[in-house]
């Protein structure tokens, strides 16, 4: 872990940032499961809650882990494409119902 301290202008709050990389600390099992299901945001929330880190560090840790596991990246992309397919299906049905309602 490293601690980085930057210069702060007058009146600004001093913030410390702890850089956590994937090899130093294993991701929680629940976060790995969320990544496997294609839910990156949920994985970041889990890491934040269990590690007590800020949003940026949690996001960086999840992304570093995901980059080290190409199989998870592929699963995440497949889950994303399935979600887009469902969105298009729902939108198409909504347009068809609206067209039927207005054109009958």
pLDDT in tens, the chain (104 residues): 444 444 445 555 444 445 544 447 889 999 999 988 888 899 999 999 999 999 999 999 999 998 888 877 666 666 667 777 888 888 999 999 999 999 88
Given this model, what pLDDT does residue 20 score? 46
- Which pTM value belongs to this model? 0.53
Contact by Cβ (8 Å): 32, 21: no
CA distances from 6 to 9, 16, 51 (A): 10, 8, 23
Query: What pLDDT is recorded for position 2?
Result: 46
Q: Determine the pLDDT at residue 71.
A: 79
């Amino acid at each position: 872990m490293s601690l980085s301290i930057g210069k702060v202008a007058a009146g600004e709050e001093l913030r410390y940032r702890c850089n956590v990389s994937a090899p130093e600390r294993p991701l929680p099992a629940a976060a790995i499961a969320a990544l496997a299901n294609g839910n990156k945001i949920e994985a970041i929330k889990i890491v934040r809650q269990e590690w007590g880190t800020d949003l940026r560090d949690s996001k960086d840790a999840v992304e570093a882990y995901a980059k080290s596991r190409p199989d998870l990246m592929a699963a995440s992309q497949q889950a994303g494409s399935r979600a887009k397919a469902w969105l298009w299906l729902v939108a198409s049905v909504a347009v068809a119902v609206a067209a039927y309602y207005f054109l009958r």
